[in-house]
Homo-oligomer: A and B are copies of this chain.
């Protein structure tokens, strides 16, 4: 970070991210009010993650909508590197993707990059990353994606398909490019270096399989942009569309607003399999508060919802109703709502959400084979 105040790569986030600067640095487009209106024409009322600027930047969304309006529908593609059990933060873009599937009737490919996590995590074995891929898949399925329109691709289970699609992509990407895009050193392993071509493959998978060019929209966390920036340079050279993308901000860790949640500290987030007791404990003990040090001061000065993780989680995922969120924000800001009371609201919401999710997650075990694709 010598000359940069923050760093964002697919494997590393450091510092407090300035999203306006990130847009400039990555060369993406902000999501403007005009674009939101254009989306709304097709979806009706916008998803709160759009209304609240969580999805804040994009590439080629206008082109994608042009194609859609011409009768050329797109498919959705997102994914996950299965390095640990699913936590709340992972669900955010998936829930948004589910909304897109519902609104646009879109087919959807979900890529579980177990190969990536094996290559990038020194301590994980291939058995572990594959097991995590199958485990995490339950959380995708639990969200209610349409089994007729959704395929979950685990990389090592689809390596024949993916490697064959990745080869012509890889042929067009040099080490210089991945070095510049991902910050690799010469000490990077050769699997890591090759990997981005595997992540690019699903962006043209449907086009390859159907022998015609099909637009693709990738909802993803902004840290993944370097992968798709590289593949957008390459795919047109192979005769394919550049995939469009819509990108979300990071979900703050329970411990504070900077950076992503971390597997190294289980108290930094809530896992989808956590019990109500764990949820209560974690939020009460660890959720970073924007409140004042004592009740008197809080009543007088009020709390700061902008840095309060409980409020941010309500905003990002757990309180979809704007009016209710606004009331909470106001009450917290003017000191009527105490940190403990705000946490209690979040605890109730998260607990209710997880009880439902865990029920669906159990049912998903019987649905796995409807979603999982294998070579």
Chain B residues, CB < 8 A from A190: 170, 173-175, 178, 193-194, 196-197
Chain B residue with the shortest CB-CB distance to A168? B126
Chain B residues, CB < 8 A from A179: 186
Rounded to whole angstroms, the CA-CA distance of A197 and B197 in the bound complex is 16
Q: Could you say which of B173, B186, B375 contacts A176, with CB atoms under 8 Å apart? A: B186
Chain B residues, CB < 8 A from A99: none
Contact A170 B189, beta carbon cutoff 8 Å:
yes
Q: Which of A76-84, A156-164, A263-271, A303-311 contacts B (4 or more CB under 8 A)?
A: A156-164
Task: Determine whether A171 belongs to the interface, using a CB cutoff of 8 Å to chain B.
Answer: yes
Chain B residue with the shortest CB-CB distance to A170? B191
Contact with B along A179-202 (1 / 0, CB 8 A): 100001111111101101100000
Rounded to whole angstroms, the CA-CA distance of A374 and B167 in the bound complex is 18
Chain B residues, CB < 8 A from A159: 159-160, 163-164
Given contacts A190-B178, A190-B197, contact A119 B160 (CB under 8 A): no
Contact B197 A191, beta carbon cutoff 8 Å:
yes
Least Cβ distance of A82 to chain B in Å?
14
Q: Is the interface of A mostly helix, strand, loop or mixed?
A: helix
Q: B-contacting residues of A (Cβ < 8 Å)? A: 115, 118-119, 126, 156-160, 162-164, 166-168, 170-176, 178-179, 184-191, 193-194, 196-197, 375
Least Cβ distance of A134 to chain B in Å?
15
Chain B residues, CB < 8 A from A157: 160
User: Can you identify 21 A-B contacts, CB atoms within 8 angstroms?
Assistant: A119-B170, A126-B168, A156-B163, A159-B163, A160-B375, A163-B163, A166-B191, A170-B189, A170-B190, A170-B191, A173-B190, A174-B187, A175-B184, A175-B185, A175-B186, A175-B188, A176-B187, A190-B197, A191-B197, A193-B193, A375-B375
Least Cβ distance of A341 to chain B in Å?
49
